[in-house]
Amino acid sequence: MTREIPEKQWQEFLPTLSEQNQGHPVRLETMIPPGEGQPVLAEGRPLLGVDIDSQGSEAPAIIVTVGGLEGQMPSFTHVIHKPTRLWVDEEAPGRAVGVAIESKDEGRTLLIFELEEALPEHV
């Protein structure tokens, strides 16, 4: 089931999503036209967090960080500037399998939760 999260709920929703899924392997990709860059930004990397910056110099922005748990691998941060819409795809209430974030300037970014076996052994 896919549902849109209203903007006024992002401050509450994103920390909860992060807490429930921290360490879960994810695929992070952007929906860009062919030939304009690499659509897959990260794959099989553990989620460190999804945060919203509503007051900083980049505000509003949604910040997705994936990568090293306990310093085993480098972390990677992707900032989605000027987000306009956010959807969550759930297989059951509270069990997210993906998040889509739409931005006025950057199109759509997808955060897809992968199967646990996608996590590398050394993490």
Interval 12-52: pLDDT, tens: 999 999 999 999 999 999 887 666 667 888 888 999 999 99
Determine the Cα angle at 9 with ends 6 and 15, to 5°: 130
Measured CA to CA, the distance from residue 114 to residue 121 in angstroms comes to 15
Q: Kindly indicate the confidence band of residue 102, based on its pLDDT and cuts at 50, 70 and 90.
A: very high
Cβ–Cβ < 8 Å for 101, 86: yes
Q: Global pTM?
A: 0.82
From CA 44, how far away is CA 88, in angstroms rounded?
A: 19
